Amino acid sequence: MSSRNIHQFSIWFNEVCCDSTQLCQLFENIPGVSFFVKNKEFRLMYMTEKFLPRIGLGSNEELYGKTDFDLFPPRLAEHFRRDDRSVMDSQKPLLNIIELVFNSQGLPDWFLTNKYPLKSRNGEVVGVIGSVRPYADKDNLSKIGDLKWERDDEIGRAVDYIRNNFRANIAIADLVDISGLNHRKLHRGFIELFGIAPMQFITRTRIEAACDDLLSTGKKLAQVAVDNGFYDQSSFTQHFRKQMKVTPLKYRKNKGFS
């Protein structure tokens, strides 16, 4: 659609004053896709109803006005806030963001999120809108209903294996065997889907799990390292600093934990 046509569509849409709930209902019935709206104070105005049980809520009335810090662990909420601020400041979307959320069993669920600046009629950024596509294995589908990322293929099998074994020693050869892909196709598949290589994907998962441990337990760093699949504390610190830009100890202290 040309920019002129988009402009004409925008004029028409504003003139007819369409009910926002009609657009929201559209997302309620798209399998595998959820939708959210935040205002410029980063408060949630709306979220697809089928996603609400995942965050312990039963209705949008309960959700309205809450921030990510009311609903998620500090580490995750800070990621969300950083990305939201970037979208509003730059007025440009952030696409295919990989976000990891750990469930009550300590297993990670991966989400692919797209975020766009929400603008008023005069072009002012007034919030953020976004879509979420989660990945879940078959055992979890009953818990999240239709909300699933439908990947029952080679890469899906590799991701499932990582999800359940990231705290153990995983080699690329293991993923090759599980997926049935050769090294080159496995690497290309992860790059195309997640923007990172398989081993980077595993390391990121371990770092995210370690962040939760650092903020929610009193474990020593050496124990956090071993519990999350790192060879030793030195290796853990090296990878953590590379991804998080601070050492694990400083990360913990910066968040008010000692």
Condensed to tens digits (0 to 9), the pLDDT of residues 18-67 reads 677 777 777 777 777 888 999 999 999 999 887 787 777 888 899 999 99
Instruction: Give the per-residue pLDDT at 3.
Output: 64
- Categorise residue 32: left if φ over 0, alpha if ψ from -120 to 50, beta otherwise: left
Write down the residue that tokens 């934990």 correspond to. 257
Flag residues of the chain having pLDDT under 50: 136-150
Closest CA to 191 of 165, 158, 228: 158
CA distance 97 to 118: 18
Give per-residue pLDDT as tens, 115-134. Answer: 999 988 788 999 999 998 76
Identify whether the C-beta of residue 78 lies closer than 8 Å to the C-beta of residue 246: no
Q: Which CATH architecture has domain 18-140?
A: 2-Layer Sandwich (3.30)
* Rounded Cα gap, residues 177 and 165, in angstroms: 14
Q: Rounded to the nearest 10 degrees, how much is the dihedral formed by the CA atoms of 159, 93, 56, 33? A: -60
Give pLDDT, residue 254. 81
How long a stretch of residues is the chain? Answer: 258
Where are the domain boundaries for CATH 3.30.450.20 in the chain?
18-140
Q: Which pLDDT score, from 0 to 100, does residue 148 have?
A: 37
pLDDT at 238: 95
pLDDT of residue 150: 44
- pTM for this structure? 0.59
Helix (H, G, I), strand (E, B) or coil at 149: coil
Determine the pLDDT at residue 146. Answer: 34
For the 151-254 domain, the top CATH level (class) is: mainly alpha
Residue 75: what pLDDT?
A: 72
pLDDT of residue 72: 80
User: Which regions of the chain carry the CATH code 1.10.10.60?
Assistant: 151-254
